[in-house]
Chain A
Amino acid sequence: MASLSRRTILATVFAAILGSAAPLSAASAGDMRIAFGDLPGIESIQTLAAIERAKERGVNVELIILNDEDLAAQAVVGGQADVGIGAPYTLIQKVGVPIRVFAQISTLRFFPVVNSEFYKEWKDLDGQEVAVQARGSGTEAVMLLMAKNHGITLGNISYVPGSEVRRNALLQGTIKASIVDAANRRALEAEAPGKFVVLPVEDLGASDEALFATADYLKNNAADVDVLVEELMKTAREITENPAVAVEFRNKYKLLPDLGAEADAEITEYYKETAEAGALAPNGGGAEAAADDFAFFSIAGQIEGDPATLKVEDFWDTAAIDRALAKLGKK
């Protein structure tokens, strides 16, 4: 009797779980499902604003937040998402997945940071240990590229994933030279003014985030894709002209409500820098961006072959940005 009732309870629980899962899967049908490869932070305000505007223009966008860029690409290939965010060059080349990049959102911005007690400039890093994100990552490629440009050889490269982890390690003094993103660089300057030197990085043109989708989706949903690409270009241009609109976007569309009002100052600061550096793509990238990406990602080891011989059309589908540029004009 006792085992019977236990079985009943188990069955009820199981049914409840199944029941609660069913509405979730039913809700996943939207016009355009966009997979983020990372938790959206202040650097995603522009993309999020463009998505909100696309919604206003009748594209029913659903956001899917994933933990890793690879997962976004897998979701797109597997049909669980329509559009992904990232830079899936490796997947396109090595695995031959039928996806194409169709618009660049922003270019990479990383900041090599060194402890000023030990190092002052690139030359001091000759033969020294540095910490980067991961083997074969963009951060490693930036460090190697800069070392090459300055004619030095880095010593041991250690791998510490997470900009905030490297920031903490820099503050604690466990590492003396590393490379972090914009938000953590500012945090370092705020928490320990004068303790760290940010080494100059000559212009990097490589994509940080770009939109990609399967070739079929781009062909069959050109109207929706066009709306998204146009809004992305418009927001990029508006922010580049006047970085303060980023905060306006945030308030208007109630973006990132979890961050609270105090994030506004940080957002202003972030977009001011980003706009000055020209890191947003007012023309959606295209062949030029592809050429920069080929050069950068082959140094990073993520794509193979001579960058000059790689074909843009193997990685990009520029039709949507071409149409958008015809409508909006080039900046």
Chain B
Amino acid sequence: MASSIRTESEAVGFAPLSGRGEAAGWQDHPILLRLISIALFAGIWEIAGRIPVSFAFPTFSDTIIAFFGLMADGSLPSAYLSTLQPLLLGVVLSAFIGVGLGTLCGLWRTGEWLAIPIFIVLQAAPVAAFIPMVTFVYGIGLTAKTLAVMILALPVIVLNTYKAVRNVNESLLVMCRSFLGTRWQSVTKIILPDASPVIFAGLRLGVAAGFVGVVLAELLITPTGIGDLITFHRSRADYAEMYATIGSIIALSTLTLVFLQWVEVRIFRPEKRGA
């Protein structure tokens, strides 16, 4: 599953390149290289598990078997169903609020003075320390978890958007003015398109941070979903199941980021495709 999506994005990225016939040989087969790299990783894991490095470190094969076991008995799918709620909610809210707020702060000095310091502090702060505080104010439900996701995802999105908007190419703005563009036109036709690469980079980082947030929340607030599977299997000493769960959330997070990049290149910035 991992390689199929990656391959697709690769195929999109490399299509014009191979069409030109410039590259040849093994470099032309990134799929093969990636498979070898994955096999190598699995091999080292298997050996480390067989030594064993620690009694709590299962082999790769045990972990894969545990993964299919968790899929078959439905505990992993149902765990994701509950983990995805705060994650999606938090990430979507962060994306809209973050890009909106970042743009506003980039365009409007007062907003910048008011909001940016807060996000700089939030980004620098060890956020895991805030999570108990969130539970004291918002309890232990979905709100607290969504907030935990947002606390992690929002600062990076806001700050990236703000910096991108603030550092728009000056000559493009001058051009817009010389063509008698209105303020609204300069925002929608110059600033946002020019800032979009950095905004997208911020969104990707934000989504990655959102995954960190949701796992932290489920480990620290109430164990539901993925956090529950991790703590439960740890308390039962079912280490293979625990690693399978951890591996699955890492894989999901990676796939999501790769997918976002694909969406970005494919839909929002077609000009980057051939580059």
Most A-side CB within 10 Å, residue of B231, B232, B235: B235
B interface bracket (residues with beta carbon within 8 Å of A) = 10 to 19
A159 close to B223 (CB less than 8 A) = yes
Given the known inter-chain contacts A165-B135, A168-B136, A172-B139, please indicate yes or no for A90 contacting B237, CB distance below 8 A: yes
Residues of A within 8 A of B139 (CB): 169, 172, 174
- Known A74-B56, A97-B55; judge A136-B140 contact (CB<8 A): no
- B205-224: which residues lie under 8 A (CB-CB) from chain A? 222-224
State how many angstroms separate the Cβ of B82 from the closest Cβ of chain A.
Answer: 12
Q: Is A302 an interface residue (CB 8 A)?
A: yes
5 smallest CB-CB distances across A and B, nearest first, come from A94-B237, A135-B232, A90-B237, A95-B55, A95-B237
Let me know if A145 is at the binding interface, CB within 8 A. Answer: no
Residues A78 and B231 in contact, CB atoms below 8 Å apart: no
Asked whether A78 lies within 8 Å of B54 as measured between CB atoms, the reply is yes
Q: What separation, in Å, do the CA atoms of A309 and B54 have in the docked complex?
A: 29
The B50-64 residues at the A interface (CB cut-off 8 A) are 54-56
Is A147's beta carbon under 8 Å from chain B? no
Chain B hits for A94, CB < 8 A: 236-238
Contact A159 B228 (CB under 8 A): yes
* B224 x A159 contact (CB < 8 A): yes
Confirm or deny: B166 has a beta carbon within 8 angstroms of a beta carbon on chain A. Answer: no
Is B223 a contact partner of A77 (Cβ separation < 8 A)?
Answer: no
Interface residues of A in 262-290 (CB under 8 A from B): none
List A contacts of B237 (CB < 8 A). 90-91, 94-95
For A11, list chain B residues within 8 Å (CB): none
Q: A136-B235, A137-B235 are in contact. List 19 more A-B contacts (CB 8 A).
A: A77-B55, A90-B235, A90-B237, A91-B55, A94-B237, A94-B238, A95-B55, A95-B56, A96-B55, A135-B231, A135-B235, A158-B222, A159-B223, A160-B140, A161-B223, A169-B139, A174-B139, A302-B235, A302-B236
Query: Nearest Cβ distance between residue B141 and chain A, in whole angstroms?
Result: 8
B6 contacts which chain A residues (CB < 8 A)? Answer: none
With A91-B237, A168-B136, A301-B236 known as contacts, the answer to whether A134 contacts B55 (CB < 8 A) is: no
CA of A90 to CA of B231, assembled, Å: 14
| A161-B54 Cα distance, complex, nearest whole Å | 27
The answer to the question of A62 belonging to the interface, with a C-beta cut-off of 8 Å to chain B, is no
Complex interface residues of chain A between 129 and 161 (CB less than 8 A to chain B): 134-137, 158-161
| Across-interface contacts of B224 in A (CB, < 8 A) | 159
> Which residues of A come within 8 Å of B, CB atoms?
70, 74, 77-78, 90-91, 94-97, 134-137, 158-161, 165, 168-169, 172, 174, 301-302
What separation, in Å, do the CA atoms of A165 and B131 have in the docked complex? 13
Which residues in B have their C-beta under 8 angstroms from that of A137? 235
Q: How far is the CA of A64 from the CA of B121 in the complex (A)?
A: 33
For B140, list chain A residues within 8 Å (CB): 160, 165, 169, 174
Query: Are A135 and B228 in contact, with the CB atoms below 8 A?
Result: yes
Cα A62 to Cα B120 with chains together (Å): 41
Chain B proximity of A310: nearest CB distance (Å): 16
- Expressed in whole angstroms, the Cα–Cα distance for A77 and B55 within the complex equals 8
- Interface core residue of B136, B139, B223, B237 (most chain A CB under 10 Å): B237
B62 CB to closest chain A CB (Å) equals 12
Q: Is the Cβ of A134 less than 8 Å from the Cβ of B232?
A: yes
B266 to chain A, nearest CB (A): 40
**B71 → chain A, closest Cβ, in Å?**
19
Query: In the complex, which residues of chain B have a beta carbon less than 8 angstroms from the beta carbon of A74?
Result: 54, 56
List, in ascending order, chain B residues with CB within 8 A of A136's CB. 232, 235-236
Q: List 15 A-B contacts (CB under 8 A).
A: A78-B54, A91-B55, A94-B238, A95-B55, A95-B239, A96-B55, A134-B223, A135-B232, A136-B235, A136-B236, A137-B235, A160-B222, A169-B140, A172-B139, A302-B236
Question: How many angstroms between the C-alpha atoms of A95 and B239 in the bound complex?
Answer: 9
Q: What 0/1 pattern do residues 127 to 171 of B give for CB contact below 8 A with A?
A: 000000001100110000000000000000000000000000000
What residues on A are CB-neighbors of B273 within 8 Å?
none
* B234 CB contacts on chain A under 8 angstroms: 70
Contact A161 B222 (CB under 8 A): yes
Q: What residues of A have a CB within 8 angstroms of the CB of B54 in the complex?
A: 74, 78
A264 shortest CB reach to chain B, Å: 28
Interface flags, B230-249, vs A, CB<8A=1, else 0: 01101111110000000000
Q: Note all chain B residues with C-beta closer than 8 A to A302.
A: 235-236
Smallest Cβ-Cβ distance to B141: which chain A residue: A174
The residues of A that contact B235 with a CB separation of less than 8 Å are 70, 90, 134-137, 302
